[in-house]
Chain A
Amino acid sequence: EPEVTQTPSHQVTQMGQEVILRCVPISNHLYFYWYRQILGQKVEFLVSFYNNEISEKSEIFDDQFSVERPDGSNFTLKIRSTKLEDSAMYFCASRPLTNEQFFGPGTRLTVL
């Protein structure tokens, strides 16, 4: 069964550094998402992407964040200058035309 994959599984970085989190969505899906879950809190929406552009973003998704679909398979989330409070699990999700979103296993980002 096709699934969403994410790399790396764990990323450790110093505050102020740039990080790129990578995702390979399910191949025939059309919509792509990033969510995050800070330890002990709920899963929060960051951004959605469709037809090579952002379709919706939350207040969390400020100028430090960007997304890109550089080729036909990868979907990336970049954080330009990481802060301590960016430490979280980051989940990529994709969906076909129906409403069910399918999530990847997540990348644990630790900012020191």
Chain B
Amino acid sequence: DQQVKQNSPSLSVQEGRISILNCDYTNSMFDYFLWYKKYPAEGPTFLISISSIKDKNEDGRFTVFLNKSAKHLSLHIVPSQPGDSAVYFCAATINQAGTALIFGKGTTLSVSS
């Protein structure tokens, strides 16, 4: 049962353009969402997060949008840079101590110069 779904396995974008990565979830108990970036042979690196009490959170070039009614979130990267090329994982959790992160399968972003 996939509680967190990233339906696009890959995305290709030109440098300078916007990258939009999407994520859907099914468990209505999730109330905190995170995006991680992962390079080959490295661990996931935390990028940005959002609580369910918000609908937008911005950090530099990265913005996460949350639509609770649609159980959908997206990560926007503007402008995209070649160094952003990596696998991006959406993760969700329930805001309690020690609760696990549930990950999507990831989207591979390729930014060409």
Contacts and interface: CB of A to CB of B under 8 A. Distances in A.
Decide whether A and B assemble into one complex. yes
A112 to B, nearest CB: 20
A33 B45 contact: no
A101 B42 contact: no
Given A42-B106, A99-B49, A50 B97 contact: yes
Given A43-B44, A91-B44, A56 B104 contact: no
Contact of A99 (B32, B36, B106): B32
22 contacts: A42-B89, A42-B106, A43-B103, A45-B102, A48-B98, A58-B100, A91-B44, A93-B43, A99-B32, A99-B34, A99-B49, A100-B46, A100-B49, A101-B34, A101-B46, A102-B46, A103-B43, A103-B44, A103-B45, A103-B46, A104-B43, A105-B42
Nearest to B34: A100
Interface size class of A (residues with CB under 8 A): 20 to 34
Nearest to B46: A100
B28 interface: no
Given A99-B32, A99-B49, A100-B49, A48 B100 contact: yes
Contacts of B43: 4, 6, 91, 93, 103-106
A68 interface: no
A50 B98 contact: yes
A28 interface: no
Interface in A65-112: 91, 93, 99-106
A58 to B, nearest CB: 7
Chain A interface main SS type: strand
Interface in A34-65: 35, 41-45, 48-50, 55-56, 58
Nearest to A44: B103
A49 B97 CA distance: 10
Given A100-B46, A102-B46, A42 B98 contact: no
Interface in B73-113: 89, 93, 95, 97-106
A99 B46 CA distance: 11
A42 B46 CA distance: 16
Most central of B36, B41, B43, B89 by chain A CB within 10 Å? B43
